[in-house]
């Protein structure tokens, strides 16, 4: 009888060991699984997305090589320089945040990888990024002026002189003071989100402007030379 009990206890012990091993292994694999799902391009990656990265960074003066779709040393260095200039983690890896900043549709890449077509995620990302830009550039301005700043960003996406995406326009080097001084990360106020939504819905109080500036702080003779469309609050909106 005692032998049967001992055998039973050993079997139970084996089952418990198997269960424990499975649970601990699963927990350890969670970060790995999440990492696999993340979109990232790095040294050695190849393909159309790498070509997009190279092309955009070359247009902005970060990349000096050929657009060959191969993530080599020049691409790696260009990505690091872009990250450093735009307040991103400087690791040379084009992950979600960096791809968004470059203006490459991360949500679209994820949807393609999973076989889904989800435009809602992209819309929400654009809304919040535009709201952050408005918040950093026009917080405290009249509401019409906040919407006008958002409209300028959208007007640029339709102008061939600028990147074609909201992220691309906002993170274009030197385009907005809020990127340079970090105000894009300031505490969000609700009016900035509302203004971004109104701009995305088509309201353009700027009258089609693609530039604006504060005359109290602007030192560039070039920006003063732009034809004035209208003045809203402290900003002059120009073509």
pLDDT of residue 107: 60
**How large a percentage of the chain has pLDDT more than 70?**
76
Q: Mean pLDDT across the stretch 49-61?
A: 89
pLDDT of residue 5: 62
- What confidence tens digit (pLDDT) does each residue in 106-132 have? 666 656 555 555 555 556 788 889 999
* This prediction's pTM: 0.55
Q: Which of 26-40, 53-67, 70-84, 159-173 has the lowest mean pLDDT?
A: 26-40
Of 114, 92, 106, the closest CA to residue 39 belongs to 106
Computed over every residue of the chain, the mean pLDDT equals: 82
Of 170, 168, 102, the closest CA to residue 137 belongs to 170
How many Å apart are CA 133 and CA 149, to the nearest integer? 8
pLDDT of residue 147: 96
Checking if the pLDDT of 30 tops 90, the result is no
In this structure, whether the domain defined by 126-238 belongs to CATH 3.30.530.20 is answered with no
Question: Mean pLDDT: which of 1-5, 140-144, 162-166 is highest?
Answer: 140-144
Q: Model confidence at 181, in pLDDT bands (50, 70, 90)?
A: confident
- Angle value at C-alpha 230, between 225 and 233, nearest 5 degrees: 105
Checking if the pLDDT of 8 tops 80, the result is no
pLDDT of residue 112: 57
Determine the angle formed by the axes of helices 106-114 and 119-138, rounding to 10 degrees: 170
How many Å apart are CA 208 and CA 210, to the nearest integer? 7
The DSSP output letter for 94 is: B
Q: Mean pLDDT across the stretch 175-201?
A: 91
Q: Mean pLDDT across the stretch 188-203?
A: 92
pLDDT of residue 29: 40
Checking if the pLDDT of 18 tops 70, the result is no
Q: Mean pLDDT across the stretch 182-209?
A: 92
Q: Residue ranges of the domains in the chain?
A: 1-34, 48-112, 126-238
pLDDT of residue 138: 94
Q: Which CATH architecture has domain 48-112?
A: Orthogonal Bundle (1.10)
């Amino acid at each position: 009888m005692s032998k049967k009990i001992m055998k039973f206890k050993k079997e139970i012990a084996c089952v418990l060991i198997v269960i424990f091993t499975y649970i601990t292994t699963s927990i350890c694999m969670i970060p790995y699984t999440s990492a696999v799902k993340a979109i990232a391009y790095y040294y050695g990656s190849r393909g159309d997305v790498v070509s997009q990265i190279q092309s955009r960074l070359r247009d902005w003066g970060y990349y000096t090589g050929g657009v060959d779709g191969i993530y080599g040393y020049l691409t790696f260095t260009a990505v690091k320089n872009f990250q450093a200039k735009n307040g991103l983690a400087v690791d040379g890896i084009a992950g979600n945040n960096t791809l968004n900043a470059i203006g490459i549709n991360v949500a679209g890449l994820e949807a393609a990888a999973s076989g889904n077509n989800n435009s809602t995620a992209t819309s929400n990302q654009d809304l919040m990024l535009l709201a952050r830009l408005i918040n950093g550039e026009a917080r405290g301005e009249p509401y019409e002026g906040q919407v006008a700043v958002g409209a300028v960003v959208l007007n640029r996406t339709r102008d061939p002189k600028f990147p074609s995406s909201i992220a691309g326009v906002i993170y274009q080097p030197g385009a907005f003071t809020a990127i340079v001084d970090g105000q894009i990360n300031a505490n969000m106020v609700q009016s900035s989100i509302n203004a971004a939504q109104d701009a995305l819905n088509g309201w353009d109080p700027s009258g089609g402007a693609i530039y604006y500036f504060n005359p109290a702080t602007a030192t560039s003779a070039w920006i003063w030379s732009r034809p004035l469309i209208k003045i809203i609050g402290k900003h002059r909106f120009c073509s």
